[in-house]
Structure 1
Amino acid sequence: MKFDRRSLLGAAVLAASLGTAPAQAQTEIQWWHAMTGANNDVIVRLAEEFNASQKDFKVVPAYKGSYADTLNAGIAAFRAGNAPHILQVFEVGTATMMGARGAIKPVQDMMKEAGEAFDPKAYLPAITGYYSTTKGEMLSFPFNSSSAVMWFNKDKFRQAGLNPDQPPKTWPEVFEAAKKLKAVSPTCGFSSAWITWVNIEQLGAWHNTPLGTKANGMDGFDTQFQINAPLFVRHLQNLMDLQKDKTFDYSGRTNTGEGRFTSGECPIFLTSSAFFGNVRANAKFEWGNTVMPYYPDIAGAPQNSIIGGASLWVMGGKKADEYKGVAKFFSFLSNVDRQVKLHTESGYLPITKAAYEKVKASGFYKQNPHLETPLLQLNNKEPTQNSRGLRFGSLVQIRDIWAEEYEAALTGKKSAKDAMDSAVSKGNDMLRQFERTVSR
């Protein structure tokens, strides 16, 4: 066989040029989040799986502190011109993000412009309603949705002579059970994380009692708070009375006190259903969860719970190819099997109807009823104007005001009525300030 030296030389040059040509750079997608512990592991794994599934985009997650810290960091970064592409914002930051004109790219618009299939009706309505306009346009992408549930220590129940298969259903039953549990847990009969979310926001929805006018702000920002109504005052008074001997014991404004449950100190603990991952990993006792308690003399209770957790907001001012990467990532997250896995492993709610139906049809909930508890709550009854959700401007800061008033009452510095009256007055002042900023 006769070889052509020129052909061989040309082939060698071509091979060398191909071998040394720089690979096309991936487009980085920055994702700022507030997840810690087992939930941080979920974030990292999702990013790694997406990055491995294609070569054009690379999602880079970055922890930015608590939910409030992450929201503040995102807003500050936008003002400085270096916002991330995706910002995880907890549900109470929804109105703040809606009011930040130009700072966000509505997810429905982005998906359409990027050519990604997107049907808002494919997602659970109890979740999407919270993150959509009154016209049904989705502004952010539902991600880690949850609801408040009541966790309980079955071992401690047995030690206190309580039936772990029949946890208390009403608030009076919780109070009585907690008094008995104090015999085996002297520093804490029961407690809760997210003190205002559980004991004001969820309490109102579960009892079909408004937190404010205009459908809890869903129908307009010019709303007035109503959390000094008898239900809220009565509940705070009950907690104040039980705080005196630690039948109830305050565990802080956020979820930093959740370890009091997994350590075995607090046998009953109200917090997010998303606590599941940490409970499964850290509790050395038999545990369970159930729906939130209610006051049986309140007409219509229990109603339905509202969601907690967070959604993913797309920040404004990015390039078209970057939005294309974000859109592909959101499609990746919406995959039915991925949602099934995320729900069954993390405890967060499946965001699509198809994922929920697939898990239910598999019989999974028969062996894992604790993961269906928040879904049963959310769907307990058709939502009313008092239980659709809430959309108050500056609610992140207002929650701190409410927590301050709660703390003043629990430490005996204020009466329950005075504390809730003050929470309403100061909260309304913050609402008026927010209105002025969005109307400019």
Structure 2
Amino acid sequence: MGGTNGETLDRIATDFEDQSGIGVNMEFQDSYENVLTNTLSAFDSGNVSDMLQVDSLFAQQVLDTGQVRRVEEILPDDFDADVFLDNVAEFFTVDGELASLPFNNSNAIMYINRDAFEQAGLDPDDPPRTLAEVRSASRSLVDQGVTQYGITWPNHVWFVETWYGFEGELLTDGENGHGGTPSEFRTPQATYDLYEWWKGMSDDDLYTNPGIEAWGEATSLFIEQEVGMVLTSTASVAGLIADSEDFEVGAAQYPSISETRVGPVIGGASFYVPDGLPEERYGEIGRLLEYMSQPAVQTEWHKGSGYYPITQPSVDSLREDGWFEENPMYGVALEQLQSGDASDPATKRALLGPARNVQTVIQDKSVDILNAADVDAEIEALKTEVDAVLSEYYD
């Protein structure tokens, strides 16, 4: 949580300190991947933080250490976990218990350069909703000389997961790891449709690859108006509004492979608490976790970052105040989340023990697919490699 998001989180921590008298010392560690690496090392050394902000992608990997205490056992007895939105609580509840505290949660959406759309003869109030429409809009932007490319996004597994989720497809068997041991990476027809489109966009210079996990680079391409569209997190809303001084930015729902729109998978992170701390410390941690879930705090976090509010009271408060009517970009991700089917396993992010290794394979092989002469063969190679990672971990 660097930049404006980090500043908002710092204010929340300071307010908690002022109200409770409990000190909070937060350390910025650059990326989710680095936090995971440092967390696993800390478990090995015994020098672990009191709270850990872990990407939802790595949930099972952290739980599998056997060194975390479920937050449901730490939160005050009168804490009502039912305040969390169903689509949020579904993922973070494992074996019937809230394993970690949801906080900065998001889904992937599309941002558009409204000025560029108008210059290319496109309607910014009717943005693309499917991959075919994204290609058409990209062609207009490029052919009219408005932008060099149509669209970009970081090469990150989350975007592939989101496309699967909208199609109602599972990334793995075992209901994405929520209903059994995952052993196989699934490659339905949607996988071939996605990669054929992606490669075609790349071959025709309608898409540019900013790099693996290149979040900042993708955003910069959009801010510098090299592209007219970018797929990234709703957490970028506040920053993009602040940085797009030379054009008007708009937000739209994530484009799906087909007309099917089952729903997005969750993104962002949650707070885990290690086991083995002094018992009195858990009381203080529980108070901070409770504080971070309060409607006023969730509202402050949402307004300062763009992450959607994750409790129903905070959503109700924002709606009553007319916030989403006055700031429609902030409501796009929430609307997308709540329009999804929370009961469909496809909308639950994959819960995989070897998540980081699976992530790396999918991202690396996506690059191979873009450069391949035979897309089908590379997709099969992708499946073979992910299956091997799953087999090595679980067998």
Deviations 1:72-104 (A, max 9, x none): 101101110100011111011011012111x10
Q: How high is the TM-score relative to the length of structure 1?
A: 0.85
Q: Contact 1:159–1:184 (CA<8 Å) still a contact in 2?
A: no
Instruction: Give the letter for the 2:350 counterpart.
Output: L
- Which residues in structure 2 correspond to 1:21-420 (within 5 Å)? 35-55=1-21, 57-101=22-66, 103-111=67-75, 115-135=76-96, 137-182=97-142, 183-198=144-159, 200-226=160-186, 228-254=187-213, 255-257=215-217, 258-284=219-245, 285-296=247-258, 301-383=260-342, 384-410=344-370, 412-413=371-372, 415-420=374-379
* C-alpha distance in structure 1 between counterparts of 2:392 and 2:18, whole Å: 46
Instruction: Give the letter for the 1:107 counterpart.
Output: V
Instruction: Give the letter for the 1:47 counterpart.
Output: A
* C-alpha distance in structure 2 between counterparts of 1:241 and 1:45, whole Å: 45
Deviations 1:210-258 (A, max 9, x none): 21112111112343210x2221122111111111232011122221322
Q: Contact 1:43–1:61 (CA<8 Å) still a contact in 2?
A: no
- Structure 2 residue matching 1:52: 3-state secondary structure: helix
- Structure 2 residue matching 1:330: 3-state secondary structure: helix
Shift of 1:344: 2.1
- Structure 2 residue matching 1:60: 3-state secondary structure: coil
When residues 374 and 327 of structure 1 are mapped into structure 2, their CA distance, relative to the original with a 3 A threshold, is: same
Q: Contact 2:111–2:250 (CA<8 Å) still a contact in 1?
A: yes
Deviations 1:374-414 (A, max 9, x none): 1111121423122233212211221111111111121x235
When residues 223 and 52 of structure 1 are mapped into structure 2, their CA distance, relative to the original with a 3 A threshold, is: same
Shift of 1:345: 2.3
Instruction: Give the letter for the 2:112 counterpart.
Output: F
Aligned length: 390
- Structure 2 residue matching 1:181: 3-state secondary structure: helix
* C-alpha distance in structure 2 between counterparts of 1:378 and 1:107, whole Å: 24
Identity rate, percent = 24
- Structure 2 residue matching 1:247: 3-state secondary structure: coil
- Structure 1 residue matching 2:25: 3-state secondary structure: strand
* C-alpha distance in structure 2 between counterparts of 1:432 and 1:163, whole Å: 48
Shift of 1:321: 1.9
Q: What RMSD over aligned residues (CA atoms) do the two structures have, in Å? A: 1.6
- Structure 2 residue matching 1:377: 3-state secondary structure: helix
Shift of 1:186: 4.6
Instruction: Give the letter for the 1:240 counterpart.
Output: K
* C-alpha distance in structure 2 between counterparts of 1:263 and 1:42, whole Å: 25
* C-alpha distance in structure 2 between counterparts of 1:314 and 1:169, whole Å: 39
Instruction: Give the letter for the 2:73 counterpart.
Output: D
Q: Contact 1:116–1:331 (CA<8 Å) still a contact in 2?
A: no
- Structure 1 residue matching 2:24: 3-state secondary structure: strand
* C-alpha distance in structure 2 between counterparts of 1:406 and 1:167, whole Å: 26
- Structure 1 residue matching 2:195: 3-state secondary structure: helix
| Structure 1 counterpart of 2:389 | 430
Q: Contact 2:114–2:249 (CA<8 Å) still a contact in 1?
A: yes
Tell me which moved more, 392-401 or 77-86. 392-401
Shift of 1:194: 4.6
Q: How high is the TM-score relative to the length of structure 2?
A: 0.95
* C-alpha distance in structure 1 between counterparts of 2:8 and 2:379, whole Å: 38
- Structure 1 residue matching 2:18: 3-state secondary structure: helix
Q: Contact 1:88–1:312 (CA<8 Å) still a contact in 2?
A: yes
* C-alpha distance in structure 2 between counterparts of 1:129 and 1:47, whole Å: 27
Instruction: Give the letter for the 1:105 counterpart.
Output: R
- Structure 2 residue matching 1:259: 3-state secondary structure: helix
Shift of 1:206: 0.7
* C-alpha distance in structure 2 between counterparts of 1:167 and 1:119, whole Å: 39
* C-alpha distance in structure 1 between counterparts of 2:182 and 2:114, whole Å: 46
Unaligned runs of 5+ in 1: 1-34
Instruction: Give the letter for the 1:139 counterpart.
Output: A
Deviations 1:150-202 (A, max 9, x none): 1000011111111111111221111000011113345321011253211x200
Shift of 1:353: 0.9
Shift of 1:116: 4.9
* C-alpha distance in structure 2 between counterparts of 1:345 and 1:120, whole Å: 24
By relative contact order (CA 8 Å, sep 6+), the higher-ranking structure is 2
- Structure 1 residue matching 2:389: 3-state secondary structure: helix
Shift of 1:262: 2.0
Q: Which is higher, the Rg of structure 1 or of structure 2?
A: 1
* C-alpha distance in structure 2 between counterparts of 1:134 and 1:414, whole Å: 45
